Amino acid sequence: MAPSKKKHACSQPCVIPGGFTELPLHFSSDSSAQHRLYVKEHRVRAERSSHRPLDRTLFVLNVPPYCSEGVVKELFSQFGSVQSVELRDHPGSSQESGPKLSKVFKPAAKQGFKVGYVVFQNSSSLKEAKSHPHDEPLVVCTEQRPVRTGVQKWIQQYQESFIQPDKLQQMVDSFMEEYDKRKEEVAERQRKEAEQQEEEDEGWVKVTRGPKGTKARPHSEAANKRTLQKEIKKKKRKELMNFYTWQHRNTQKEHIAELRKKFEEDKQRIALLRAQRKFRPY
């Protein structure tokens, strides 16, 4: 029997259905267990975000829990310069719908496998990552890049959860500086509006040219508030006048009904007196 002419190319990338390429992953160089990452080019046309350019973003599935954003960045840096790395629990938009929390109060991170978005500086790095041979695994933990797991990782996270007093003081000082700056801006704006209001009270009103056929109005927040208050008072006064008009009309109707009732009673009394009257000449 003649041997088969087909040869298994071990140095070729392994592509699975869906357009994903398998990348083998070892935790350390002497580890026998093998993990697999599934990568492909990020091509979501509906997402118009500058954080994930379509020609330089690599979509990564099955990222293990011991791989942080820094570790993923170091792993893919061998294919080229990495601009940014983003790890999420589920695929989705880069825009966060929830409120932004302070750096001090961080929500507890979910433990489990994640999806990642790796943005390269050049598009050629993305092609090189997709063409990586599946018989050359990526190593997570090395001497230059040690990765802690288990109790050591828990101890490191516990120590990092404490904030140094000097760092916390810097954060508080920067927040108070921004607060004072915003407060000064508000006070300056109120002062300018008060000066403009005084000028308007003296008879000087700043107007601008508007569309043809329309009257120009003063561009002042205080003037707008005054006009709005006048409209509200006018509306309330009109409602009160309408209420009194309805009450007066209702009183007149009741008075007319009582007069008609009294008139009918008087007619009946007069008819009864006429029926009882008798002629007595003597």
Mean pLDDT per 10-residue segment, the chain (282 residues): 44 76 86 85 70 85 87 89 88 61 63 88 87 84 79 80 84 90 91 75 55 54 76 75 70 87 90 74 54
Q: Give the contacts of 139 (CB within 8 A, at least 6 positions apart).
A: 26, 27, 28, 29
Question: Is the sign of the CA dihedral 121, 122, 125, 127 positive or negative?
Answer: positive
Q: What is the pLDDT of residue 168?
A: 84
Q: What is the pLDDT of residue 143?
A: 78
Answer whether 0.75 is exceeded by the pTM.
no
Can you say how many angstroms the Cα of residue 211 is from the centroid of all Cα atoms in its chain? 36
Q: Give the contacts of 95 (CB within 8 A, at least 6 positions apart).
A: 49
